[in-house]
Amino acid sequence: MIRMTLAALALVTPAVALAQDGLAIRDAYVRSANPKTAAAFMVVENRGATDCRLTGVSSDAAAMVDLHTNVEEGGVMKMQKIEGGIDIPAGGEHALARGGDHVMLMGLVKPLADGDSIVLTLDFGDCGTQQVEAALDNDRTEAAPESHAGHGGHKGH
């Protein structure tokens, strides 16, 4: 019985190890300007030889979690949902950063306070999933700050 269990683990472990070795998430953090919404930022690094695509994100911390980006329309920056995902090229990385692509959490289960952490599950389709813990850090500053006030108009949140 033990041999069968070890054999089964040997078959499963390499696939899990490849998924874990191929993608790395660094510098994850969350900002929240109000008790109902938050945004998560991080750098996704693809150390593998295969292109991957971030197709979605989930979290128990919010009723709805989407990938969002900022686009300029008529000289005004607006946020919109990303359809189809975000490509992470083999050997490359993609920053989910303020002023650009990011994870939007709407309908927070509870308001977040500085230092609170949430767990995000990033879905990379054929490249697997990754869990990352991100702490709230509203004091963090970056080169391209943005206001999430534009998210107040989401319907049903």
At 142 the pLDDT is 65
What's the pTM value of the predicted model, to 2 decimals? 0.77
The mean pLDDT values, 10 residues at a time, for the chain of 157 residues are 45 40 92 95 96 97 97 90 96 95 97 94 96 94 47 38
DSSP secondary structure of the chain: -HHHHHHHHHHHHHHHHHHHHHEEEEEEEEE-SSSSEEEEEEEEEE-SSS-EEE-EEE-TTEEEEEEEEEEEETTEEEEEEPSS-EEE-TT-EEEE-TTSSEEEEEEESS---TT-EEEEEEE-GGG-EEEEEEEE-TT---SS---GGGGGG-TT-
Sequence spans of domains, the chain: 2-139
- Token representation of residue 36: 């109902």
At 146 the pLDDT is 40
At 16 the pLDDT is 37
CATH code reported for the domain at 2-139: 2.60.40.1890
